[in-house]
């Protein structure tokens, strides 16, 4: 009787250990930094993304991005960055959650799997997104020194939003101004905002602190 109990207990323990090993191997993600540099002025976003994607075996064709937040200081030094990636393989989705503080020298990457991701079709492709970041950086879109910090933020969604005052659209690698000061318009597309603040943890959008740009699928 005691032998039988011992066998059952050992089997349960072995199953628990194997389950833990399987879960760890399925969900473990190497702590790979997206941007090796801290100076955003020297970052090649497209190359950084390609290396990051390759190191974590993320697909190029099916990966999309959402909830992107990048904080820079006045000199465009990277303060922190976080975003979610959704990678599709057949009918299964792998979601990567990325968070890094350059100030604290800390990276955290986790992943989970889902059988559906309802907003997937409405998200921007990560490959295009990082290419657009490169173009905007080269055009000086992020170079304002009016505030101590700036937040580059995008939901990643193809969405309709109401905008006040000046805003812009990226077409054929050129930035075109749309809208006028004092006016309010409703437009849709994949958009990105640059929000200024004198503190790294307090960003609010208004006509004085924020400029917006549509990077794809712009419709008035």
How many CB atoms are located within 10 Å of the residue 102 CB? 17
Contact between 85 and 118 under an 8 Å Cβ cutoff? The reply is no
Mean pLDDT over residues 6-33, rounded? 57
Please give the C-alpha separations between residue 201 and each of 58, 70, 150, in angstroms, as whole numbers: 30, 12, 10
How confident is the model at residue 61, as a pLDDT?
A: 95
- Write the pLDDT tens digit of every residue in 159-181: 887 776 668 999 889 999 886 65
Q: What does the alpha-carbon distance between residue 125 and residue 157 come to, in Å, rounded to a whole number?
A: 10
Q: Which tokens in the block code for residue 6?
A: 């011992």
- Write the pLDDT tens digit of every residue in 105-117: 899 999 999 999 9
- Write the pLDDT tens digit of every residue in 78-87: 999 999 999 9
Strand pairing category for 124-125 and 149-154: unpaired
Could you write out the three-class secondary structure of 102-129?
Answer: CCCCEEEEEEEEECCCCCHHHEEEHHHH
- Write the pLDDT tens digit of every residue in 122-145: 999 999 999 999 999 999 999 888
Domain ranges of the chain: 1-30, 40-219
């Amino acid at each position: 009787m005691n032998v039988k109990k011992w066998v059952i207990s050992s089997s349960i323990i072995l199953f628990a250990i194997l389950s833990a090993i399987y879960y760890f191997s399925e969900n473990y993600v190497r702590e790979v930094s997206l941007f090796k540099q801290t100076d955003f002025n020297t970052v090649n976003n497209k190359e950084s993304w390609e290396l990051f994607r390759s190191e974590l075996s993320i697909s190029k064709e099916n990966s999309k991005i959402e909830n992107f937040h990048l904080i820079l200081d006045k000199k465009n030094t990277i303060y922190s960055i976080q975003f979610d990636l959704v990678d599709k393989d057949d009918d299964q989705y792998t979601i990567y959650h990325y968070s890094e503080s350059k100030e604290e020298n800390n990276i955290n990457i986790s992943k989970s799997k889902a059988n559906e991701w309802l907003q997937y079709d409405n998200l921007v492709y990560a490959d295009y997104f990082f290419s657009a970041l490169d173009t905007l950086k080269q055009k000086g879109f992020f170079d304002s020194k009016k505030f101590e910090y700036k937040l580059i933020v995008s939901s990643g969604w193809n969405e309709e939003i109401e905008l006040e005052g000046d805003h812009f659209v990226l077409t054929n690698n050129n930035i075109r101004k749309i809208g006028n000061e004092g006016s309010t318009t409703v437009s849709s597309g994949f958009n990105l905002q640059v929000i200024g603040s004198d503190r790294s943890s307090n960003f609010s959008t208004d006509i004085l602190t924020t400029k917006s740009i549509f990077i794809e699928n712009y419709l008035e």
